[in-house]
Amino acid sequence: MRIFLTGATGFIGSALVLELIKADHQVVGVTRSDAGAEALAAAGAEVYRGTLEDPEGLRDGAAKAEAVIHTAFDHDFSRFVENCEKDKRVIAALGAALAGSDRPLVITSGVGMGSPGHGQLAIEDVFNASHPNPRIASEMAGNALLDAGVNVSVVRLPQVHNPVKQGLISPLIEIAREKGVSAYVGEGRNRFSAGHLSDAARLYRLAVEKRQPGARYHAVGEEGVEMRAIAEALGRGLKLPVVSIAPEKAAEHFGWMAMFAPMDLPASSALTQARLGWHPTGPTLIADLDAMRYAD
C-alpha cells in the first residue's frame, strides 16, 4: 500500500518507516525540516512537507494515499491540553480525506483510555469516555470519524522504549539529574505498562494491514512495571540515591511530571495478541534502562 505517515521522523515513526518498507509498502513520510527530509529519503521513503499546525495540508497528502497512519504528536507537556485539541483537529482532517472509501486510518492514543479507573487493568475493549487525561480527545475524534463511516482503528501506547528513549521515563531522567536523586512517590507500587519500540512499530503495520474499523490495539509487552523498580534502575544508571517522595511533595519535586509520576496504569495486550497474531519480543523496560548510556 501507499501509506501516508505523520510523525515519520519521530521516535516511533522512524522505526515504523523501516518496518513498512521492509514489508514492501510505499511510505510517504511527513516532515517539517530539511534534516527530516534527508533522513526519510535515505530510508527509502517519499517526503511530504507538513506540520500539525496545518491540518488541511496534511489532509491533501492523505487524500492521495491508500492508507494513513498518524503517529505525530506535539510533546510539549506545558501545553498538553492545547496539543491534545490540536491532535483532534488533525485526526478530523485526515479522516475527511478518506471519507467515502474503505481506506484505513490508524490513529494513536494511550493505554489509559482503556482503563475503567485508577489502578484497574486497561483492556482493548474498554473506552473510558470520562477519563481525565486530555489525550482522550484523540479517541473522541476517531469515534466521530467511525460514526461517519471512516475506517478508523487505534493503537494505544504504553511507555515505548529502547536504550535511548522511554516515553515519560525520559523526563524523569532529567528530573533526577537536576534534583540529585532518583525518586518515586510513596511506596512506588504504582505501575507503568511498557512496550519495546520494535514491537510497537510492528503493531502499527499489522493494524493498518488488518483494516479493521473500530479496533483498538495495545502495544504492551509488560502489563505493569513498578515505579520503584524504574527509579532504582535510573539510580543505578545515574549513580544517584533512590528516595521516596511523599505524595503532598510530588508537585514540588516532579514539576509537570507530578500528574504522571503517581499514576497506576497497568494495561493488557491479550486481545491484541489474539486478534493480530502479534507477540512482543523486544527487551524489557528495565533491561533497556540498564543498557542506556547515561553519560550521553
200 and 247 co-located in one domain: no
Per the structure, the count of domains in the chain is: 2
Q: Is the residue at 276 inside a domain?
A: no
11 and 58 co-located in one domain: yes
152 and 70 co-located in one domain: yes
Q: Is the residue at 273 inside a domain?
A: no
Cβ contact 197:162 at 8 Å: yes
Q: Is the residue at 100 inside a domain?
A: yes
Q: Which residue range forms the structural domain that includes residue 243?
A: 161-193+223-267+281-291
Q: Is the residue at 247 inside a domain?
A: yes
Q: Is the residue at 272 inside a domain?
A: no
**Domain finish residue from 204, 219, 234:** 219
Structure confidence at residue 79 (pLDDT): 87
Q: What is the CATH number of the domain that holds 177?
A: 3.90.25
Residue 296, C-beta contacts closer than 8 angstroms, at least 6 positions apart: none
Secondary structure (3-state) at 111: helix
Structure confidence at residue 116 (pLDDT): 87
Cβ contact 238:182 at 8 Å: yes
- Most distant pair of Cα atoms in the chain: their distance: 58
Q: Is the residue at 237 inside a domain?
A: yes
Q: What is the CATH number of the domain that holds 136?
A: 3.40.50.720
Structure confidence at residue 38 (pLDDT): 97
d(Cα 174, Cα 180) in Å, to the nearest integer? 10
168 and 58 co-located in one domain: no
168 and 214 co-located in one domain: no
150 and 240 co-located in one domain: no
Structure confidence at residue 249 (pLDDT): 96
Q: Is the residue at 19 inside a domain?
A: yes
15 and 86 co-located in one domain: yes
Structure confidence at residue 77 (pLDDT): 80
167 and 237 co-located in one domain: yes
d(Cα 46, Cα 112) in Å, to the nearest integer? 34
Structure confidence at residue 219 (pLDDT): 98
Structure confidence at residue 177 (pLDDT): 97
* Ramachandran bin of 264, using left for φ above 0, alpha for ψ from -120 to 50, beta for the remaining angles: beta
Q: How far apart are the first and last CA of the chain?
A: 38
Output the nine-digit C-alpha cell for 132: 481525565
Q: Is the residue at 274 inside a domain?
A: no
205 and 180 co-located in one domain: no
Tens digit of pLDDT at every position of the chain (296 positions): 999 999 999 999 999 999 999 999 999 999 999 999 999 999 999 999 999 999 999 999 999 999 999 999 998 887 889 999 999 999 999 999 999 999 999 999 999 999 988 789 999 999 988 878 889 999 999 999 999 999 999 999 999 999 999 999 999 999 999 999 999 999 999 999 999 999 999 999 999 999 999 999 999 999 999 999 999 999 999 999 999 999 999 999 999 999 899 999 999 999 999 999 999 999 999 999 999 999 87
85 and 170 co-located in one domain: no
d(Cα 69, Cα 7) in Å, to the nearest integer? 9
134 and 68 co-located in one domain: yes
What's the pTM value of the predicted model, to 2 decimals? Answer: 0.96
71 and 42 co-located in one domain: yes
Cβ contact 146:214 at 8 Å: yes
